[in-house]
Structure 1
Amino acid sequence: MDKKGMLDAMVAHYTSGNKAKFAQLLGVSAQTISAWGARNTFDSELIYTKCIGLSPDWLLTGEGSMLRVNDAPTSEPIPSINQEYKGAPYFNVDFIGGFEFVFNDQTQLPDYYINYPPYNKPGVMWCNLTGHSMEPEISNGDVIALKEVKSPIEYLPAGEIYGIITDDYRTVKRIRPGAQKGFVRLIPANKSPEFCEQEIPVEMIRRVFAVLGSIRKFF
């Protein structure tokens, strides 16, 4: 397979054939993608760092499977995006790894669907995590899988990671009971002095989401 054919195959797999979205994934202009196709070339190093699951051998030779295959009988599932309702919806909404103010009226419509079998479950959705307070467990720029929980926050398993929505902000933290009755303690994973624990009254919390997992943003 020549470079143009390989480029077309990657665009088809990672962004459902949308070259503009593939350019966004790589952090280049759409004109760059078009120029690569016209010249039968591309930036292999850049593509390999941005495209999850891509086989380095295929990228160099154009031969074999485009995606990495484990030695095990079944390969590890690889996330992909689509607009065909396959998987769980991705909302371009920011949860903050900190306590910065963020408008809570961000978009209600999913941009895409992320097809990643471990999280293709009813009620799961994907959002952005910005900020550094949950590093190294969850990194700035990761996409997090969330599922809303309806149980009162006082009865949720302590020490787990949750997404919290108040009237003023969204944040992702570990939760433990507060020192005061009617409060919960929000605990960052990052032990740097700039990040500290905070107690807030339960009555401030409007919605709670269990954080099921995270992936590096790939689109």
Structure 2
Amino acid sequence: MGIFGQLSKYNWIIIQIFYSRMDIGSFLSAFKSKIKSLTGKAISSERLAELMDINAEKLRGWEKGSLPRKEDDRSKLKLFFHLKNLDNIPKDAPATSAKKVVEQLQEKLWIGKAVVSKKEVIALGKKIPMRLDEQEFAEAFPDWKGIPVYNVPVSAGFVKHYQDENTYEPIYHLRDPRFKDCNFAAIITGDSMHSEIRHGDYVVCQEVIDRSFIVYGDIYYVVAKNGLETCKYINAYVLDAKNRIYDEDRILLVPKNENITPSPLRKDMIDRLYKVKGIIRGY
């Protein structure tokens, strides 16, 4: 190989390295775009500066291409965005940083309607005292990421494909020990369960594999073979209340909203069944 061939190979390596990196201005712009795609709402420079505990004018200057000079500013940037350095930022850093920041802030503030505080997470059903508090639980199960929370409505299509990362991507993982046996949380739509579950709330769901074990009076998300998709209380289907005679082959789907009529469903028509074990308030 001649000297020109060697130079061309060397230049190609330099070009590859150069174009796989980005400056701080490009990073901030891409980061804000990723936040919007994850949460469904844009985050302003002022709000971002507030979260970082810096001057908004200073942040806008960095967004336009100026470089942070003070070591304190550089440290804040690296710490907040989980960056190793600011001089050679990888192209995939905005996506990685956005995921980490959203997950880190989920218990502290709102970014759009996707991130909620602990007081807005409600466990349903029988309250059993935890033997471990949340910190002890995290130490005992360090590899558990938490349940994935999706910023999309729960539906028949969603429950069939939510595990496909190419189709659905969680906005964060909820590390709440009360829901360790759950599969996911996603948005509920409609007002049939209002006011217990409101339109726009997130329901924390656990798939029910054994259909013979249904706790009457609890809330379930039901996907039926006839196209029905609904979130309701499930009760026994009563044939004769006085003599306590029930239809073992049917259930009764009962809404919280008294303006909506309960409806029967044959058990063999259930395609997928999920017990709603918690609610994350959507607003």
TM-score (norm 2): 0.46
Larger Rg: 2
Instruction: State the partner residue of 1:152.
Output: 211
Contact persistence 2:193–2:257 (CA under 8 A): yes
CA separation of 1:204 and 1:75: change in aligned 2, threshold 3 A: closer
Q: How many Å separate the matches in 1 of 2:110 and 2:150?
A: 25
Q: How many Å separate the matches in 1 of 2:263 and 2:173?
A: 33
CA separation of 1:203 and 1:26: change in aligned 2, threshold 3 A: closer
CA separation of 1:137 and 1:92: change in aligned 2, threshold 3 A: same
Secondary structure of 1:217 counterpart: coil
Deviation at 1:146, TM superposition (A): 0.7
Contact persistence 2:179–2:277 (CA under 8 A): no
CA separation of 1:135 and 1:21: change in aligned 2, threshold 3 A: farther
Instruction: State the partner residue of 1:62.
Output: none
Identity of aligned residues (%): 26
Instruction: State the partner residue of 1:134.
Output: 193
CA separation of 1:117 and 1:165: change in aligned 2, threshold 3 A: same
Q: CA RMSD in A?
A: 3.7
Contact persistence 1:88–1:124 (CA under 8 A): yes
Q: How many Å separate the matches in 1 of 2:38 and 2:157?
A: 26
CA separation of 1:75 and 1:176: change in aligned 2, threshold 3 A: closer
Contact persistence 1:130–1:141 (CA under 8 A): yes
- Amino acid in the other structure paired with 1:143: Y
Instruction: State the partner residue of 2:251.
Output: 184
Are 1:161 and 2:215 matched, yes or no? no
Q: How many Å separate the matches in 2 of 1:217 and 1:25?
A: 15
Secondary structure of 1:208 counterpart: strand
Q: How many Å separate the matches in 2 of 1:47 and 1:156?
A: 35
- Structure 1 residue runs of 5 or longer lacking an equivalent are 1-16, 55-73, 77-83, 96-101
Q: How many Å separate the matches in 2 of 1:166 and 1:75?
A: 36
Deviation at 1:150, TM superposition (A): 2.2
Deviation at 1:93, TM superposition (A): 5.0
CA separation of 1:169 and 1:18: change in aligned 2, threshold 3 A: farther
Are 1:200 and 2:265 matched, yes or no? yes
- Amino acid in the other structure paired with 1:129: I
TM-score (norm 1): 0.58
Instruction: State the partner residue of 1:34.
Output: 45
Contact persistence 2:153–2:186 (CA under 8 A): yes
- Amino acid in the other structure paired with 1:105: G
Q: How many Å separate the matches in 2 of 1:48 and 1:187?
A: 34
Q: 1:90-126: CA deviations, max 9, x gaps?
A: 345534xxxxxx6x33343341242232345144311
Instruction: State the partner residue of 1:80.
Output: none
How many positions carry a matched residue from both structures?
160
